[in-house]
Amino acid sequence: MTEQFDAVDIIRAQRDGRPITEGEIRWLVDAYTRGYVMDAQMSAFTMAVLLNGLGRDQIRVLTDAMIASGERMDFSSLGKVTVDKHSTGGVGDKITLPLAPLVASFGVAVPQLSGRGLGHTGGTLDKLESIPGWRAALSNDEIMAQLRDVGAVICAAGTGLAPADKKLYALRDVTGTVEAIPLIASSIMSKKIAEGTDSLVLDVKFGSGAFMQDIDRARELAETMVALGTDSGVNTTALLTDMNTPLGLAIGNANEVRESVEVLAGGGPADVVELTVALAREMLTLAGQPDADVEAALADGRAMDVWKRMIRAQDGDPDAALPTPRETHTVVADRSGVVTRVEALPFGIGAWRLGAGRARAEDAVVHAAGIDLHVTVGQAVTAGQPLFTLSADDETRFARALDAVDGAWEIGDTAPEASRLVRERITA
C-alpha cells in the first residue's frame, strides 16, 4: 500500500510552526495506530505539539481521528437521557462514587467509564475494588442492561474505545509531553465522545494536588475540552475546582469508599457534599432537570438505594466489611492553634507510598492503605490532638510516607480566609 503522506514532512511542519492539514492529522493517527509511523516519529510530533500548540480545528480533527481508530458506543436505545462526568483527578477525589447513583436516582442514565490510579492521583476502579466481589470489567451488553435497570454504571472502559489514545498516552508518559494541552484534551475527549453520552460535565482541577497547578492553565484546558465536546455534538460544560487541599478527610481506597457511603447516607465532609451536589446539579441541568432537589435525594435515601443496586449489579456486596489495615500511625499536633494549611500533593504522595497507589500500571494497590485526616483547614486544635492517621499493611512504609508529608501542614494563630471550592463555570 502506498502511503498518502510522509511522517517526517508532518513533523517538520509542526516543528517549524507551519499549519498541518486535516488529511495529514488523520493519516498520522491512523498510520501510528497501524504501526507504520514509529514511536520515535510520534514522539517528535508530540514534542512539536507541546512547543508550538495546535489550533482549535486541528485539535478537533486529532480528537476525531482518535475516536475513529476504534468503536463508538450508542445509548440511543435506552430511552433515557445519558450524562457523564469526568474529573482531571486529585487527592481524595472520590466524587464519582456518590455522584453517579445520586444523578441516576432522577431517572437519568449515568455511564461512568473510569480508570485506575497512577502516582499520587487515585483511581475510581481501585476504590470500588475494595468492596468484596465487585468487578470492574463489563461487556457492552452488561453496561446497557445495568443502565436500563439501575441507571448508573461505573466500570472500566473497553479496549475498543479510542485505541489510538491508549497507544499515544503511553508514549507521552515517557517522553515528557503529558503536559501539552492539545494532547491532554484530545486524549480525554476522544474517549468521552466515543462513549456516546448525550451530555458531559468536566471537573477540571487546579492547585497543589491537581495535574494543572495553575488556574489559568486549568481554564485553558477546560475551555479546550468544552469546545471539543460542543463541536462533536455533546452538550459539555466544565467546573474549575480547587485542589490545593485534599478533598474530604479520606485519601486511599477503602477509606474513600467509606466516606462516599457517608455522603450517600446524608452525612460526610462538607466539601465532598458541596462538590457532589454542584456536579449533580450541573449534570441534571444538562439532562433537562434544572430544578432537581439533589439534597433531598441524599437525605431521603434514594441515592443510597441506587448505590446498593449498582454495587450488587456488579457482583459486589454493599453491606460487606471493607478492608482494614494491619498497621496504623497517628500524628498529633505539637502545639495549640488553628490549622492554616493542609497541602494536597504531599498527602497524595504519602498515601501512594503507603500502598494506596501504584508507580507502574501493572502494580497492585493495597486497598486498606491510605491517610485519614482528623482536622481541616480553619479548625482549632490543641497540643496532642490527632491530626491524621497513616494506614498500611507494612509498618516499614511509614517512614517514607512521613517524609512525604513533612512540612505539608501548618498550625498557626489565625484562621486563613476561606477559599471557594468551585471557582468558575465554563460553557461553550
Determine which one of 69, 187, 260, 391 is catalytic. 187
Write phi, then psi, for 289 (nearest 5 degrees): -125, 65
Mean local confidence (pLDDT), 13-31: 96
Residue 2, CA atoms < 13 Å, CB-side half-sphere:
1
Residue 178's pLDDT is: 82
Measured at the alpha carbon of residue 94, what is the angle toward residues 363 and 80, in degrees to the nearest 5?
A: 110
Q: Do 335 and 387 contact (CB within 8 A), yes or no? A: no
Closest CA to 182 of 66, 354, 81, 98: 66
Split at pLDDT 50, 70, 90, the class of 361 is: low
Determine which one of 26, 127, 166, 172 is catalytic. 172
**pLDDT tens per residue across span 58-101:** 999 999 999 999 999 999 999 999 999 999 989 999 999 999 99
Residue 34 neighbours by CB under 8 Å, 6+ apart: none
Q: Which domains does the chain have, with CATH numbers?
A: 76-159+187-320 (3.40.1030.10), 327-412 (3.90.1170.30)
Closest CA to 281 of 245, 241, 237: 237
Mean local confidence (pLDDT), 270-283: 98
- Cell numbers standing for residue 393: 499493611
Residue 15 has pLDDT above 70, yes or no: yes
Residue at 49: amino acid letter: V
The whole model's pTM is what? Answer: 0.94
Residue 357's pLDDT is: 85
Residue 269 has pLDDT above 90, yes or no: yes
Determine which one of 26, 60, 86, 358 is catalytic. 86
Residue 191 neighbours by CB under 8 Å, 6+ apart: 113, 157, 161, 162, 165
Determine whether 203 is an active site residue. Answer: no
Split at pLDDT 50, 70, 90, the class of 394 is: very high
**pLDDT tens per residue across span 181-203:** 999 999 999 999 999 999 999 99
Determine whether 76 is an active site residue. Answer: no
Give the whole-angstrom CA distance, residue 272 versus residue 253. 15
Residue 382 has pLDDT above 70, yes or no: yes
Determine which one of 127, 191, 353, 397 is catalytic. 191
Residue 171 has pLDDT above 90, yes or no: no
Split at pLDDT 50, 70, 90, the class of 370 is: very high
Residue 114 CA, distance from chain mean position: 8
Give the whole-angstrom CA distance, residue 130 versus residue 316. 10
Determine which one of 165, 198, 203, 242 is catalytic. 165
Residue 230 neighbours by CB under 8 Å, 6+ apart: 236, 428
Round the average pLDDT of the chain to a whole number and report it: 94
Mean local confidence (pLDDT), 36-64: 95
**pLDDT tens per residue across span 135-164:** 999 999 999 999 999 999 999 987 788 899
Determine whether 172 is an active site residue. Answer: yes
Residue 363's pLDDT is: 76
Residue 119's pLDDT is: 64
**pLDDT tens per residue across span 296-346:** 999 999 999 999 999 999 999 999 999 999 999 999 999 999 999 999 999
The helix (run of H) or strand (run of E) holding residue 280 is helix 270-286
Adjacent-strand bridge partners of 252: 370
Determine whether 367 is an active site residue. Answer: no
Give the whole-angstrom CA distance, residue 44 versus residue 49. 9
Running DSSP on this structure, what letter comes out for residue 392? E
Split at pLDDT 50, 70, 90, the class of 354 is: very high
- Cell numbers standing for residue 405: 508529608
Residue 355 has pLDDT above 70, yes or no: yes
Residue 175's pLDDT is: 87
Mean local confidence (pLDDT), 161-168: 89
- Cell numbers standing for residue 255: 477509606
